[in-house]
Structure 1
Amino acid sequence: MNKLVAHITLQSRQCKFWGLIVALLVTAFTASAEENFSQQVSGEGRPVILIPGLMSNGTVWNSVQETLTANYEVHVLSLAGFAGTPAAKNPSLEHTMQEIGEYIKKNQLHEPVIIGHSLGGFIGFWLAVNYGERIGKVISVDGLPYLAPVFTRSSATTVAMMQGQASMLRQQYRYFNGEQLEQQAQANISIQATAKQDQQKVLAMARHSHPETVGEAIYTLLTTDLRNDLKTVTAPILLLGAVGAFTNVSQQNAAEALYQQQLEKAPNATLIMNRESRHFIMFDQPNWLARQIIHFIED
């Protein structure tokens, strides 16, 4: 997931913390029987599922969808409660993951490629852990199997260490409104995307998200550590990291080392860092992203 290390103390870290998570983060999307997401399907061929990040909808994948539709059956998801997609009665990220897994089964999608951005990348890892026999390949676009070390800057961070702050954030988000979500996004919008028009897209999606759903998702990201579970995943994994928001090489190298540590248990994982792009690689470096995706799928 989205996407980056905050150089702040634990107390002052909170503002950047929220701002970074905000992004961890037009076509009409087809209504579906699923409660926790809607989908748009286009093209023919091997199935590919595109999952957006926190407070994003499927439109962030427009350029990728356009590239892939010529040769693949592309399923673009929009998750309930994010960026104008109606909230679900059960705003559970785990329920969303399970529903996507059942969607794969129900539609008999043979070894689909899962591509997720930020939170969507985390869901991709989670699907591979729980539905490994049905997943072909996983591509995570700046999303990690455990989010918290990005903020603590330590791979030694555990769920137990984050439990209190995760619970506090979940409670706080229940009282937010759309404007407050946008304000949280604004605090660190410069690390999400480079161009002003792309930054405005991120802010608009945040403003139209459902605060309680966002809070539940943040809680899950901070209290679910998939790093050790990756040892059971045989599907090929590609993690595309973005460190273009950092101002010097030492910061970029530190982030790359942290990303690599997240994949230590995965038997078949590759890390590729983009040192020019910010968190929304599909906005900043769409051609580079498309090349990496196609090369990995076809390899």
Structure 2
Amino acid sequence: MRHLSLAAVFATSLLLTPTVIPVAQAADTAATGNRFSVQVEGQGPDVILVPGLGSGPAVWTATVAQLKATRRVHVIRVAGFAGEAPGANANGDIAAPLAEQLARYIDAGKLKSPAVIGHSLGGEVALMLAARHPDAVGRVMVVDALPFYSLLLDPTSTADSMKPRAAVFRDAMLAAPPEQAAAVQTATMARLIKTADARPAIVAAAQQSDRSVLARATYEIMTTDLRPELSRIRAPLTVVYAHDKAYGFSPAQVDANFRTVYAQAKTARFVRVDDSFHFVMIDQPKAFAQAVEAFLAN
């Protein structure tokens, strides 16, 4: 199984995104411990937005603007990503503890069946949350995310077999000098974002992320296989994924790949977005907005 935009996640360091939603737009900013903080806007049914590896709230700016008139939107800011202090993410895993703290956040805030949308690493966090706390969520959307990312490197891989290779990626990310890391980030963005004028700010702001947090998160998702857990998800699941002719694969091939890896997710429906790389919300904002509306309406 190959998927060009996602494969670039592990072919390079994948340090992702930039700025934050301006404070003036925020109705509230609530601390939730030090795995993440939350920026809240709007009123209505709850929607939680979880960013990808190294990303900050900026990837959700258009989505927040789309939803805040009719929804209460909770934008997650992960400790160690995009200028946030590492906090409790300074050691150990990132994704699994983040999912657990999200479950506690939902419970403590008495959020009623929130919708959860996660991009990339955030998609894996959303899957963990829905599988391990099935009563906590009302519906889930994952955006260009897989339950086991290492299939992109080796379709026969297992979580255990990938540990040595994942350790190499982690250690290389930690050891890279700043100039090399910057060059890798620039190359990465060319594969992850089709919209060229969106890349420079994302590359520049990637430097704000804590490299240790990013490296350990990369190791974690390379060695975590959620496929056996997908059958536990009871909430409706929407899988949004990108396709572009640059991949060298037909739409039918990409469709088949995603349906195969999500075979155990009985509630899944699939939405392919064409002419897009990994950052679907940036490359095809109109199509992504339509997918979000359909997801929330169904």
2:81 maps to what in 1?
82
1:115 maps to what in 2?
117
1:103 maps to what in 2?
105
Report the CA distance shift for 1:167/1:19 in structure 2 as closer, same or farther (over 3 A).
closer
1 CA distance for matches of 2:219 and 2:87?
17
* Structure 1 unmatched runs, 5+: 8-12
Judge conservation of contact 1:83–1:209 (CA < 8 Å) in 2. yes
2 CA distance for matches of 1:126 and 1:230?
9
1 CA distance for matches of 2:5 and 2:59?
24
Deviation at 1:151, TM superposition (A): 2.6
Deviation at 1:186, TM superposition (A): 1.5
Q: Which amino acid in the other structure matches residue 173 of structure 1?
A: M
Q: Does 1:194 align with 2:194?
A: yes
Per-residue CA deviations over 1:102-123 (Å, capped at 9, x if unaligned) read 1111111111101011111111
Identical counterparts, % of pairs: 28
1:91-240 superposed matches below 5 A: 91=90, 92-93=93-94, 94-152=96-154, 154=155, 156-176=156-176, 179-240=179-240
Q: Does 1:27 align with 2:22?
A: yes
Deviation at 1:21, TM superposition (A): 3.8
Q: Which amino acid in the other structure matches residue 184 of structure 2?
A: Q
TM-score of the two chains, using structure 2 as the length reference = 0.89
2 CA distance for matches of 1:298 and 1:121?
20
Report the CA distance shift for 1:113/1:177 in structure 2 as closer, same or farther (over 3 A).
farther
Per-residue CA deviations over 1:47-85 (Å, capped at 9, x if unaligned) read 000011011101110000100111111001111111111
Report the CA distance shift for 1:77/1:200 in structure 2 as closer, same or farther (over 3 A).
same
* Structure 2 unmatched runs, 5+: none
2 CA distance for matches of 1:85 and 1:101?
21
Report the CA distance shift for 1:34/1:197 in structure 2 as closer, same or farther (over 3 A).
farther
Root-mean-square deviation (CA, aligned residues, Å) is 2.4
Task: Please give the secondary structure, in 2, of the residue aligned with 1:246.
Answer: helix
Deviation at 1:27, TM superposition (A): 1.7
Q: Does 1:4 align with 2:6?
A: no
Aligned residue pairs: how many? 288
Judge conservation of contact 1:4–1:246 (CA < 8 Å) in 2. no
2 CA distance for matches of 1:189 and 1:128?
30
Q: Which amino acid in the other structure matches residue 224 of structure 2?
A: T
Per-residue CA deviations over 1:195-239 (Å, capped at 9, x if unaligned) read 222111321232111110001100110111111100111111001
1 CA distance for matches of 2:151 and 2:247?
20
Deviation at 1:98, TM superposition (A): 1.1
2 CA distance for matches of 1:86 and 1:24?
15
1:298 maps to what in 2?
297
2 CA distance for matches of 1:261 and 1:137?
21
Judge conservation of contact 2:113–2:139 (CA < 8 Å) in 1. yes
2 CA distance for matches of 1:97 and 1:150?
23
Per-residue CA deviations over 1:148-186 (Å, capped at 9, x if unaligned) read 11233x2x3211221101122223333346654433222
1 CA distance for matches of 2:5 and 2:63?
29
Judge conservation of contact 2:44–2:70 (CA < 8 Å) in 1. yes
Judge conservation of contact 1:18–1:184 (CA < 8 Å) in 2. no
Task: Please give the secondary structure, in 1, of the residue aligned with 2:127.
Answer: helix
Report the CA distance shift for 1:6/1:47 in structure 2 as closer, same or farther (over 3 A).
closer
Q: Which amino acid in the other structure matches residue 44 of structure 1?
A: Q
